[in-house]
């Protein structure tokens, strides 16, 4: 805000939006408006299943059917190894977290376009919109984990004591997806090609991530490539906590944190830079 003197001795108040946001400013905006994010997340879940016959059971049915198909094709026909774990348990343990992260990334990237009516009529920090899918998808993941636990008990697989640390995987995956959403959502609001192309690249990325196969299935000379994939580190961490498989290396965790921090920093800066043009271009 700045006062400018006029020729008549009066002052005209000119209000300009803040442009020099720091990371701390962005985090404060998100934290102080977390209630808005949670309210929108609950609304998202209600709208998604409001007129469906089986309601939130779709959150269970989808990964369960996908696990069944992957088990038939890759477990029985292709006979991909699963490190001594029953293949349905192995694939579902990775599939649930992959679907969570990919859903957050895709839906966060389209959050501004999806909430066009709210953005153009009501002012609130738009930073919370890409966060909404991370919250709503976390609720669905929590429901699906009950099915995973039931499947593990059916096959006689006992969860490890490290299972209590699964929220760390959930938090890191949510932040990773949020960073992608911050980066792509304003770009998608201007160029809709992003929203069209992103699901296609996400589908390809699933086969480049150890969802249906373990990293040990890949020739050892190429296994280091998976350390560069932050989602691979998250999936292997989830399996280590649940099934007792080996944890990723310390280098993999360093790369994961690096990717997450970099995407958040670039995402915040990109979002703030393009935020002023969103309403006009959306």
Sorted by where each begins, the domain ranges of the chain are: 29-281
Distance separating alpha carbons of residues 143 and 207, to the nearest angstrom? 25
Is 87 within 8 Å of 71 (Cβ atoms)?
yes
- pLDDT of 176 > 50? The answer is yes
Confidence of residue 116 (pLDDT cuts 50, 70, 90): confident
Report the candidate in 50, 112, 156 with the shortest Cα–Cα distance to residue 275. 112
Q: For residue range 131-153, list pLDDT tens digits in order.
A: 999 999 998 898 889 899 999 99
Rounded distance, CA 205 to CA 23, Å?
29
Question: What are 11-32's pLDDT values in tens digits?
Answer: 665 445 556 678 788 888 888 8
- Band of residue 1 on the pLDDT scale cut at 50, 70, 90: very low
Q: What is the arithmetic mean of pLDDT over 44-51?
A: 77
Q: Is 35's pLDDT higher than 80?
A: yes
Better pLDDT: 10 or 87: 87
Find the mean pLDDT for residues 57-81: 87
Q: pLDDT band for 165, please (50, 70, 90 cuts).
A: very high
User: According to the model, what pLDDT value does residue 30 have?
Assistant: 86
190, 281 contact by CB (below 8 A): yes
Share of the chain above pLDDT 90, in %: 51
**Entry pTM:** 0.86
Orientation of helix 87-109 relative to helix 193-207, angle to 10°: 160
pLDDT interval class at 10 (50, 70, 90): low
Q: How many residues does the chain have?
A: 282
In this predicted structure, what is the pLDDT of residue 123? 76
Q: Give the mean pLDDT of the chain.
A: 86
Q: Which of 73-87, 170-184, 248-262 has the lowest mean pLDDT?
A: 73-87
Query: Which string of DSSP letters, residue by residue, matches the chain?
Result: -EEEE-TTS-EEEE--------HHHHHHHHHHTHHHHHHHHHHHHHHHHTT-SSGGGHHHHHHHHHHHHHIIIIIIIS----TTS-HHHHHHHHHHHHHHHHHHHHHHHTHHHHTHHHHTT--S-GGGGGGHHHHHHHHHHHHHHHHHHHHHHHTTPPPPGGGGGHHHHHHHHHHHHHHHHHHHHHHHHH-THHHHHHHHHHHHHHHTTTTSS-GGGS-GGGGGGGGG-HHHHHHHHHHHHHH-PPPPPHHHHHHHHHHHHHHHHHHHHHHHHHHHHHHHH-
């Amino acid at each position: 805000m700045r006062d400018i003197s006029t020729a008549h001795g009066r002052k005209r108040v000119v209000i300009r939006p803040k442009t020099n946001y720091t990371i701390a400013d962005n985090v404060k905006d998100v934290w102080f408006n977390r209630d808005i994010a949670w309210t929108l997340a609950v609304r998202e879940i209600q709208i998604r299943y409001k007129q469906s016959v089986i309601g939130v059971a779709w959150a269970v049915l989808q990964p369960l059917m996908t696990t069944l198909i992957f088990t038939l094709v890759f477990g029985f026909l292709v006979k991909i190894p699963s490190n001594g774990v029953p293949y349905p348990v192995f694939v579902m343990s990775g599939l649930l977290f992959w679907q969570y992260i990919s859903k957050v990334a895709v839906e966060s990237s389209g959050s501004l376009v999806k909430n066009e009516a709210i953005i153009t009529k009501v002012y609130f920090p738009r930073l919370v919109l890409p966060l909404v899918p991370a919250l709503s998808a976390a609720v669905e993941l929590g429901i699906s984990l009950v099915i995973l636990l039931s499947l593990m008990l059916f096959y006689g697989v006992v969860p490890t004591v490290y299972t209590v640390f699964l929220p760390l995987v959930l938090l890191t995956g949510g932040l990773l997806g949020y960073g992608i959403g911050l980066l792509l959502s304003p770009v998608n609001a201007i160029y809709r090609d992003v929203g069209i192309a992103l699901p296609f690249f996400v589908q390809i990325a699933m086969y480049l991530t150890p969802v249906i196969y373990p990293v040990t299935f890949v020739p050892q000379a190429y296994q280091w490539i998976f350390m560069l994939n932050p989602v691979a580190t998250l999936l292997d961490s989830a399996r280590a906590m649940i099934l007792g498989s080996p944890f990723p290396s310390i280098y993999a965790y360093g790369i994961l944190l690096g990717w997450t921090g970099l995407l958040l920093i670039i995402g915040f800066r990109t979002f703030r830079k393009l935020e002023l043009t969103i309403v006009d271009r959306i």
